[in-house]
Structure 1
Amino acid sequence: MNKLVFGNLVHRPLRSVISVFAVAIEVVMILSITAILMGKLNGFKDRTNGIGMDMFVRPPTTNNFVGLSSASASIKIGNVIAQVPHIKVVAPVNIQITGALDNIYGIDYATFNALAPYTFRSGGPFQEPYDIIVDEYAAAGKKVGDSITVLNHPFRICGIVEHGKGGRKFIPIETMGKLTGTEGKVTAFYLKTDDAPKYEDDVKTAIQGIDGLQGYSVLKTAEYLDMMTPARLPGFNIGLEVVIGIAAVIGFMVIFQSMYTAVMERTREIGILKSMGASKSYIVGIVMRETGLLAVTGIVVGVVGSFALSAILQNRFPTLDFVINLPYVWKAVVIAFAGALLGAFYPALKAASKDPIDALAYE
């Protein structure tokens, strides 16, 4: 049977290649979209953890992705929070997102740097209102003293730092307010506490007991990062499921069409096999084995292609956070293989149900 299966595939090379690439594309689609979405999420978590804060305070209007929220809290609230016992640093931040989905951090350098000091590759802190600090990825070949446009305004690069401290571009918080019409406003306050996490619960209770701050969200960094999961982000899983569903349908339809056409073309051949005593299960087995071989080949091509794509994109676009999530590799393998077998099931049954006399008379 195996020789017959292999011979059938080799006899129709173009259709076999198309079927393999259809399964491969299905796998690449699943792994690529999950690599982008999960990569962005994990990259966001890593950079948030690298800020060095122990807790943060945000107004009720701010959502989990602070860069997508307006700066609505008065910067003066930071002075009130700083009076709470066991708080060492209160760093106000005004985070804005650009049309290119680039988070720009408006910071007070002294307090933000006190959370966890910058590691400068070259240059140093702000010297002028329109100075900017960028990480080595955002620098993109530029050097200290070069100009870069942010928020439709030219900035002078004053420092290039190691990546991983929240955002990739940092400007003075006062300048951010002027450019965005949010003067004196912040998105959130990042806190550094004494002997963390020993006093964090006390700090949280004290802040929420301050008049006017009862509705504010006070979170430990660990609590916040635990919230950054697909299940707890609105629409995240829906997006994944839609793309995976589309990919599965593509694989199913191509395999169905390929196997159905193959069965129709081999009507006389099937008649000969049945006249020689081949059972229905034998005929079904031939079609399913062909499909299985095509699916396995397509899956291997898809997985290898996905990792190759990941390596190319990581090298070409290091800020993309395109990281293939291994659990989704197995999901993609199962979905692609199951979809291919399901697509071949009806053609296999149709082949097995053919009357041998009619099949032999087929031209």
Structure 2
Amino acid sequence: MNKLVIGNLLHRPLRTMIGIVAVAVEVVMILSIVGIMIGQISNARNQTSGIGADMIVRPPNASFITGVGGAPVPAKIADVLAKLPHVAVAAPVITDFNMGGSVETIWGIDYESFNALKPFVYLSGTTFQGPNDVIVDDIFARADGGHKVGQTIQVKNHPFRICGIVEHGKGGRKFLPIHTLGGMVGNADNASLFYLKSDDVKNQDAIRQEILSTPGLGQYQVQTLQEWMSLMTPEHLPGFSAALNSVIGIAVIVGFIVVFQAMYTAVMERTREIGILKSLGASQGYIANAVLREAALVAIAGIILGIAMTYIIKIGLEYRFPTLPFPLTLQWRVRGALIAFGGSILGALYPALKAARKDPIDALAYE
């Protein structure tokens, strides 16, 4: 049977290749959207955990997603927070989501308090020397042919001088003075949120109560870092699961239709051959098995090609946008392969049943 299946596939190489490419595109769509979307979540989790804070304070009704809330509250609230018992450091921060050139979040920081959470590790250069200085991490410094201290780069269409290059993993990839970024977003003296460092993690509940009992701060959101990290999952992100499922659904439909059309056409073209096989004693199961095996081989070849194409896309994106996280986890490679394989088999199921049910007399008489 395997020789028969392979022979049938090779007899129509163009149709076979179209089926393989369709399954490959299905796999690429799934892995690419998952890699980019989940990569953003994982990167945010990793970057935030490296800041050195153990609590986060946000304005009322602010999103827990950094970079989407603007700078709605006065930065001087950090002074009030810093005076509370058990608060060792309070750092005001502006996070501004930017899509100019690449998808990134620009950070505006009060250097002294932000550095007190966990000191920057400098690879070269120094801290801000003026309002138009920018600190970048080593990943950004390696992007686009490399960047050096003293070089001028564009941030939100404004020129900034790179004053320092630091190790990655502390919040963002580009850091501006908080007043500078605040002025660029229209709120020079404001902040998006506040990172706190407690004198002891055992006092976090006490700090939360102290903040909520402070006049004017009773409606603020106070979270431990662990609580915030627990929210950074696909299930908690607005529209994430719906968008992901929509892309996967479209990919499955594309693969299903192409495989269905290819296998249905193949069955119609082989009506006489099916009649000959049945006249020689082939059962309905044998005929259906042959059609499904063809679909399975097309699916497996398409999955392999799709994973290879996704890695090529990943390499290209890492070269063009080295700051864009694009993980390809084993879990999603397996899930993508199973989804594509299942869709292909479903697409071939009706043609297989149609082939199995053909009457041998009618099939032999087919012209």
User: Do the two structures share a fold, i.e. TM-score over 0.5?
Assistant: yes
Residue 82 of structure 2 corresponds to: 82
What is the rounded CA distance, in whole Å, between the counterparts of 1:176 and 1:293 in structure 2?
55
Identity of aligned pairs, percent? 54
Counterpart pick for 2:120 among 118, 121, 143: 118
Letter of the structure 1 residue corresponding to residue 65 of structure 2: F
Q: Does 1:28 align with 2:56?
A: no
What is the rounded CA distance, in whole Å, between the counterparts of 1:205 and 1:181 in structure 2?
32
What is the rounded CA distance, in whole Å, between the counterparts of 2:348 and 2:157 in structure 1?
55
Letter of the structure 2 residue corresponding to residue 43 of structure 1: N
What is the rounded CA distance, in whole Å, between the counterparts of 1:162 and 1:38 in structure 2?
23
Deviation at 1:164, TM superposition (A): 1.3
- Please list the CA deviations of residues 224-276 of structure 1 after superposition, one character each: whole Å capped at 9, or x if unmatched: 01100000111000111000001100110111011001011101111111122
Written as runs of structure 1 = structure 2, the 5 A alignment for 1:143-222 is 143-195=148-200, 197-222=201-226
Calculate the aligned-residue CA RMSD, in Å. 1.4
What is the rounded CA distance, in whole Å, between the counterparts of 1:298 and 1:156 in structure 2?
48
Written as runs of structure 1 = structure 2, the 5 A alignment for 1:247-262 is 247-262=251-266
Deviation at 1:315, TM superposition (A): 4.5
Counterpart pick for 1:329 among 324, 333, 352: 333
Q: Is the 8 A contact 1:61 1:72 kept in 2?
A: no
Residue 353 of structure 2 corresponds to: 349
Letter of the structure 1 residue corresponding to residue 324 of structure 2: L
Residue 132 of structure 1 corresponds to: 134
- Please list the CA deviations of residues 18-57 of structure 1 after superposition, one character each: whole Å capped at 9, or x if unmatched: 2112112111111111011011110111011111111111
What is the rounded CA distance, in whole Å, between the counterparts of 1:312 and 1:179 in structure 2?
32
Residue 276 of structure 1 corresponds to: 280
Q: Does 1:40 align with 2:40?
A: yes
Letter of the structure 2 residue corresponding to residue 127 of structure 1: Q
Deviation at 1:333, TM superposition (A): 1.6
Q: Is the 8 A contact 1:23 1:302 kept in 2?
A: yes
Counterpart pick for 1:303 among 296, 302, 307: 307
Give 5+ residue unaligned stretches, structure 1. Answer: none
What is the rounded CA distance, in whole Å, between the counterparts of 1:69 and 1:338 in structure 2?
41
Q: Is the 8 A contact 2:140 2:322 kept in 1?
A: no
- 2:235 partner SS: helix
Deviation at 1:316, TM superposition (A): 4.4
Deviation at 1:282, TM superposition (A): 1.3
Residue 235 of structure 1 corresponds to: 239
Q: Does 1:360 align with 2:364?
A: yes
Q: Which moved more, 1:134-143 or 1:169-178?
A: 134-143
Residue 66 of structure 1 corresponds to: 66
What is the rounded CA distance, in whole Å, between the counterparts of 1:178 and 1:307 in structure 2?
41
What is the rounded CA distance, in whole Å, between the counterparts of 1:152 and 1:317 in structure 2?
18
What is the rounded CA distance, in whole Å, between the counterparts of 1:157 and 1:300 in structure 2?
43
What is the rounded CA distance, in whole Å, between the counterparts of 2:124 and 2:114 in structure 1?
19
What is the rounded CA distance, in whole Å, between the counterparts of 2:154 and 2:183 in structure 1?
15
Residues 308/177 of structure 1: CA separation in 2 closer, same or farther (3 Å cut): closer
Q: Does 1:7 align with 2:11?
A: no
